[in-house]
């Protein structure tokens, strides 16, 4: 079985591709290596994947293209390069769609990027799955879909009709689009609502990376909502373990689904949605304290108001995920932050 991983040079896509290769699964990666953050970090991730491919014997092939490029996406589903040559992994039997225009705040500045990548591009993924008999589509949603909901912990059984950013709205749209294809074409599809993912090789636009960079440079850190944020910080290894277990267990129709009282979490179609979070909401100030302990530096803090599109608190109910996969994310924040700091110091030599 080969797997198509879109966003393979991204944070989660890199770690997932690494685990797939380590267990002997060939991977076709699709990524446009855009400049939303430093492409050099993405290139370093890809270099690691190529090294691993050589050492473990499972092939990794990259197609450098955007989801919006329908011809390139079609080539990936055929198991071909952009020039039409067969790729060693062959035609993918399963797909993990992680490519997207990320970031809540950037969606206020450049909404068209989200419409193109997250809506048009995702439509191309769905069409590829439909026409190439894909056995299972797993796609990234986000905890941001819960929007203005203040009933914690967030459950898949709750309504997600009140997004507060275009990014969140695009992720909810992905869930609706995937469900439609599951209903019309019998495509097994599973949406995963990730909760604040962090860890080694993380995104430079995320708080942990920004805080570490500033603190090592002796600069103040920006702490939004006057430090009253709460997040369900989820370590990358827990995210990937959950991803793999979901990938190996395609979505099925829920025989107990009641159309007179529809449950947003399940369906008569082979479509499921799961939270992936640590189920341990952590105040932002405690997260910063964990980073201070790992770095041995006390941060100078600049307290600021909450930003448009942000929500003050998130917390994941992962009961459904554990029931489906037998796994529950559980890495303590202090341990995960320390691992990130160790990677950061080694990678950047600081």
Per-residue pLDDT tens over the stretch 100-157:
988 777 888 889 999 999 999 999 999 999 999 999 999 999 999 999 899 999 999 9
**Which pLDDT score is estimated for 33?**
94
- pLDDT band for 18, please (50, 70, 90 cuts): very high
**Which pLDDT score is estimated for 109?**
85
| Rounded Cα distance, 54 and 52, in Å | 5
Active site residue 235: no
Q: Of 36, 106, 167, 198, which one is the catalytic site residue? A: 167
**Which pLDDT score is estimated for 22?**
97
The reply to whether 308 falls in a domain is no
| Rounded Cα distance, 289 and 50, in Å | 36
Peptide bond into 337 cis (omega under 30): no
The reply to whether 76 falls in a domain is yes
Summarised one tens digit per residue, pLDDT across range 189-200 is 999 999 999 999
Residue 306: count of CB within 10 angstroms of its CB: 13
Give me the chain's average pLDDT, please: 96
Residue 155 belongs to domain spanning: 3-195+236-279+316-330
Residue 309 has pLDDT above 90, yes or no: no
The reply to whether 169 falls in a domain is yes
The reply to whether 62 falls in a domain is yes
- pLDDT band for 35, please (50, 70, 90 cuts): confident
Summarised one tens digit per residue, pLDDT across range 39-87 is 999 999 999 999 999 998 899 999 999 999 999 999 999 999 999 999 9
The reply to whether 298 falls in a domain is no
**Which pLDDT score is estimated for 186?**
98
How would you classify residue 292: left for phi > 0, otherwise alpha for psi between -120 and 50, otherwise beta?
A: alpha
**Which pLDDT score is estimated for 57?**
87
The C-alpha angle with vertex 55 and arms to 139 and 341, in degrees rounded to 5, equals 65
Domain with 119 in it: what CATH number?
3.40.50.720
**Which pLDDT score is estimated for 193?**
98
Residue 187 has pLDDT above 90, yes or no: yes
Residue 321 has pLDDT above 90, yes or no: yes
Residue 36 has pLDDT above 90, yes or no: no
Summarised one tens digit per residue, pLDDT across range 209-260 is 999 999 999 999 999 999 999 999 999 999 999 999 999 999 999 999 999 9
More reliable by pLDDT, 309 or 336: 336
Domain count for the chain? 1
| Rounded Cα distance, 157 and 241, in Å | 23
The reply to whether 310 falls in a domain is no
The tokens describing 1, both together, are 């079985």
The reply to whether 207 falls in a domain is no
- pLDDT band for 92, please (50, 70, 90 cuts): very high
The reply to whether 349 falls in a domain is no
| Rounded Cα distance, 60 and 329, in Å | 27
**Which pLDDT score is estimated for 1?**
84
């Amino acid at each position: 079985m080969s797997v198509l991983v879109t966003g393979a040079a991204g944070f989660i896509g890199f770690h997932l591709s690494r685990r797939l290769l380590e267990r002997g699964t060939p991977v076709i990666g699709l990524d446009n290596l855009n400049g939303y953050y430093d492409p050099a970090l993405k290139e370093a991730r890809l270099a690691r994947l190529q090294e691993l491919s050589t050492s473990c014997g499972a092939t990794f092939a990259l197609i450098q293209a955007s989801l919006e490029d329908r011809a390139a996406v079609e080539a990936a589903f055929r198991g071909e390069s952009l020039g039409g040559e067969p790729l060693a992994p062959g035609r993918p039997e399963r797909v993990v769609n992680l490519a997207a225009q990320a970031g809540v705040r950037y969606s206020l500045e450049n909404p068209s990027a989200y419409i193109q990548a997250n809506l048009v591009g995702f439509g191309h993924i769905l069409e590829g799955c439909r026409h190439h008999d894909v056995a299972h589509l797993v796609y990234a949603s986000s905890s941001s879909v819960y929007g203005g909901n203040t009933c914690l912990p967030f459950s898949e059984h709750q309504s997600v009709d009140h997004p507060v950013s275009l990014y969140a709205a695009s992720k909810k749209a992905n869930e609706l689009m995937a469900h439609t294809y599951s209903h019309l074409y019998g495509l097994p599809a599973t949406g995963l609502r990730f909760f604040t993912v962090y860890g080694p090789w993380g995104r430079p636009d995320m708080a942990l990376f920004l805080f570490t960079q500033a603190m090592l440079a002796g600069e103040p850190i920006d702490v939004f909502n006057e430090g009253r944020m709460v997040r369900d910080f989820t370590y990358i290894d827990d995210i990937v373990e959950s991803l793999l277990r979901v990938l190996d267990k395609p979505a099925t129709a829920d025989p107990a689904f009641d159309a007179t009282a529809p449950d947003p979490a399940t369906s008569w179609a082979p479509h499921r949605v799961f939270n992936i979070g640590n189920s341990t909401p952590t105040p932002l100030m405690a997260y910063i304290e964990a980073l201070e302990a790992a770095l041995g530096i006390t941060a100078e803090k600049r307290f600021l108001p909450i930003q448009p599109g942000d929500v003050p608190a998130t917390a994941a109910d992962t009961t459904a995920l554990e029931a489906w996969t037998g796994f529950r994310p559980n890495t303590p924040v202090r341990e995960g932050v320390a691992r990130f700091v160790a990677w950061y110091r080694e990678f950047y030599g600081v």
